[in-house]
Amino acid sequence: MSKQIIQIGLLGCGTVGGGVWKVLAKNQADIEKKCGARLEIKKVLERDFEKAKTAGVPAEVITENVDEIMNDPEIQIVVEVMGGIEMAGRFIRLALQAGKSVVTANKDLLAIQGRELYELAEANGVDLLFEASVGGGIPIIRPLKEDLAANRIEAIYGIVNGTTNYMLTKMSEEGSNYSDVLKEAQEKGYAEADPTSDVGGLDAARKLAILASIAFNTRVSFDDVYVEGITKITARDI
């Protein structure tokens, strides 16, 4: 008896998308064994063909035309790893309306349009899955939605941004100043060249909007969250 084959459309093949391709290719046998189904990426949407080919994607799998994914009845799942808000949101809506489940880690988009997208997925009888949008590999979204569904959650506490946690810990334990710790975090790859999203509190606010929406079963958008970064904190404050 042949195992089920689940066809996937991958939107984007940059650092994250290329990583998804490589992980699925490398671990395909293990995934098939655990899930009882074979996952295959049928099409990859990417304008930069060379970038996709560098990740190991065959030329015949790469496309610049999103309709090749949306209009293909064999593609059941769309994985969005292109980032951004406007185009990613439009493509996710197209996928949901086409009856395809969507997997995304796009916290910027979900913090703004999350409720609208959840409702669209529900209306079309498909899933919108976004576990990696908060906490990386730590399972928090599914437990909030399913395992703790019978519980009344009154508050959420936690560290949701690793960059600022690292920086504040260094400042607290070693008395280091902000600029030195930021430079060190960038050199170690913990902080981006432009760290605004992390040190300005934007990343944490987006994640909190997503968690609060699920935990309290209400619509919490990024604009509802009070944001204050760590840029003005000194070692003395800590």
Strand runs (DSSP E) across the chain, as ranges? 4-11, 37-45, 62-63, 75-80, 101-104, 128-129
Closest CA to 9 of 92, 126, 89: 92
Q: What single-letter DSSP state applies at residue 2?
A: P
Is residue 207 flagged as an active site residue? Answer: yes
Taking alpha carbons only, the member of 37, 89, 91 closest to residue 64 is 91
Here the tokens at position 66 are: 């999103």
Which residue shows structure tokens 């936690």?
158
Pairwise CA distance, residues 199 & 184, whole Å: 14
In this structure, the number of other CB atoms found within 10 A of the CB of residue 71 comes to 11
User: In sequence order, what are the beta bridge partners of 38?
Assistant: 5
Catalytic one of 42, 100, 170, 207: 207
Q: Which residues are catalytic?
A: 207
